[in-house]
């Protein structure tokens, strides 16, 4: 019985990890959705993992993005919902722009362009504005 409980617990933890912010980056839309979910959850480390930032500057990026995003998002009452409006992949297949509809707790909505880059077959949020 104890082995069954341990196996069930491990399976549940794996499911939770797979459903976290960075679960899939096989398309620009998927990485944009995952990145926006990280912002909604204030998982700035998860967000930075979805960018094309080198690992040496990750901690600094988490701190900078965390401060700025928290101020901007909290001032609007948090992110309440989001979805993909459109996705445009460049002809060379190396970059894309995903238009996201984002709704905030204060009733504001906006369309944000999330620029993505394909690195080694994996779509990431571009750190370049």
Tens digit of pLDDT for each residue in 78-121? 999 999 999 999 999 999 999 999 999 999 999 999 999 999 99
Confidence of residue 127 (pLDDT cuts 50, 70, 90): confident
Cβ atoms of 114 and 97 within 8 Å: the answer is yes
Higher per-residue confidence, 107 vs 2: 107
Residue 128: the pLDDT is: 74
Residue 76: the pLDDT is: 95
- Using a CB cutoff of 8 Å and minimum separation of 24, what contacts does 115-118 make? 116/28, 116/31, 116/32, 117/52, 118/93, 118/94
């Amino acid at each position: 019985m104890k082995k069954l409980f341990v196996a069930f617990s491990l399976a549940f933890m794996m499911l939770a990890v797979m459903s976290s912010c960075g679960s899939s980056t096989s398309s620009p839309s998927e990485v944009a959705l995952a990145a926006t979910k990280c912002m909604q959850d204030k998982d700035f480390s998860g967000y930075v993992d979805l960018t094309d930032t080198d690992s040496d500057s990750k901690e600094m990026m988490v701190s900078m993005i965390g401060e700025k995003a928290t101020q901007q998002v909290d001032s609007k009452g948090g992110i309440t919902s989001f979805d993909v409006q459109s996705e445009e992949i460049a002809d060379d297949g190396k970059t894309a722009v995903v238009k996201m509809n984002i709704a905030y707790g204060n009733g504001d909505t906006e369309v944000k362009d999330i620029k993505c880059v394909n690195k080694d077959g994996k779509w990431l949020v571009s750190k370049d504005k």
